[in-house]
Amino acid sequence: MVLWLSILAPIAFTGAVEQEIRIAGKTMGTTYQVTVVTRHPSRQAALKEAIENRLFEINRSMSTYLEESEISRFNGLKKIGAPFCPSRDFFSVMMQSRRLYSLTEGAWDPTVGPLVELWGFGRKPGKRAIPLSDKIVQMKQAVGFNKITLTPEGCLRKTHAALRVDLASIAKGYGVDAVAAILPKQGYQNFLVEIGGEVFVKGIRKDGKPWRIGINTPLKTASYNSIYQAVPLKSGRAMATSGTYRIFFEQNGKTYSHILDPRTGYPVQNGVVSVSVIADSCTVADGLATALMVLGRQEGLALVERLPSVECLIVVQDDEGKLFDFVSPGFFSS
């Protein structure tokens, strides 16, 4: 979880004095917060309306909880090869999904949903327990982003009727980017956008300092506001964090988290408990944070080193419960 660290004090403002105003609400099954530095606080209502209208569009497109959303209609499509031509938002996320799937060689895969549900971590309440191995093999038949074709006309086609998509590990990042894109058009040059812990910043805070983002302590016993690291973010940069320490179950003395390796069908067991990724796009940072959880420390760092303008912090927990940081060279100066 990412926590942003801009402290706002109640001050009586007069005239055209710069101040930070915060707009907050709910979206995508979580919360959002937008902080802007402005001399015109009276525009706050109009800004909130613009933000919520944009988030409504994205949620209506990508929420698996809405029966008439684009993602639900695509998931319900049973005819192999039938074209599904979605909105620009949905197709853009699918294009980015294809790129991340390819970059990670399948370690990140938004079609892993059936396996997530099988393990009891899906949106429908289910028993969290180790499934039968043959059931995992069966479910894997409908998993794989390579079973989706993206056409030059902006349409999607399935090659497996049971294939379903869940964009939970990238949609929040896309929402952050979408809101960040409208703020300069509204006249704001210094701001922070956060949805469910995923963040993008532009410019600086009111006090002239960089926006500082806190990373939650990746321990099962840690409180939600416990800060493990505080990271200053440069203008135009995004950060997302993924972890195994909040959603899990224990069976036979072993812990199983909600983050599954799509290639094996089983929860990751590589010791990584938290990954934070910094990138130019929150969409990319969001997806990569989950991907690096699956890839593990060595493969994850190797991938980041090949990607321009991407940095990461990978936290590994040993058998005694101690935490160890593995950091790409530019993470704390990005």
pLDDT in tens, 168-182: 999 999 999 999 999
Distance CA 63, CA 70 (A): 8
Q: Which of 51, 55, 47, 42 is nearest to 15 (CA)?
A: 42
> Using one digit for the tens of pLDDT, what is the confidence trace for 77-93?
999 999 999 999 999 99
- For position 10, what pLDDT does the model report? 41
pLDDT at residue 112 tops 70: yes
Categorize the per-residue pLDDT at 43 as very low, low, confident or very high, splitting at 50, 70 and 90.
confident
pLDDT at residue 16 tops 80: no
Domain boundaries, the chain: 79-158
Q: pLDDT: is 66 or 3 the higher one? A: 66
Mean pLDDT of the chain, nearest integer? 93
- For position 2, what pLDDT does the model report? 55
User: Which stretches does DSSP call E strand in 180-301?
Assistant: 191-195, 198-202, 211-216, 227-233, 237-243, 248-251, 254-257, 260-261, 266-267, 272-279
pLDDT at residue 1 tops 90: no
Buried (b) or exposed (e) across 102-132, using 16+ Cβ within 10 A?
ebbebbbbbbbbbbbbbbbbbeeeeeeeebe
pLDDT at residue 127 tops 90: no
pTM for the full predicted model: 0.92
Beta-bridged to residue 192, according to DSSP, are 35, 201
Q: What sections of 33-170 are H helices per DSSP?
A: 44-62, 70-76, 88-103, 113-118, 133-140
- Most distant pair of Cα atoms in the chain: their distance: 69
Q: For a pLDDT cut of 90, what percent of the chain falls above it?
A: 87
Interval 26-37 mean pLDDT: 96
Structure-block tokens of residue 40: 């015109």
Q: What are phi and psi of 84, to 5 degrees?
A: -125, 115
CATH class of 79-158: mainly alpha
What residue type is assigned to position 36 of the chain? V
Distance CA 275, CA 291 (A): 9
pLDDT at residue 212 tops 80: yes
Distance CA 237, CA 332 (A): 12
Inter-residue contact 108 to 168 (CB < 8 Å)? no
- For position 269, what pLDDT does the model report? 94
pLDDT at residue 62 tops 70: yes
User: Distances in Å between the alpha carbon of 308 and those of 56, 215, 284, 289, 314?
Assistant: 32, 23, 12, 16, 18
Buried (b) or exposed (e) across 55-81, using 16+ Cβ within 10 A?
beebbebbbbeeeebbbbebbebeeee
pLDDT at residue 13 tops 70: no
Distance CA 180, CA 194 (A): 10
Distance CA 242, CA 244 (A): 7
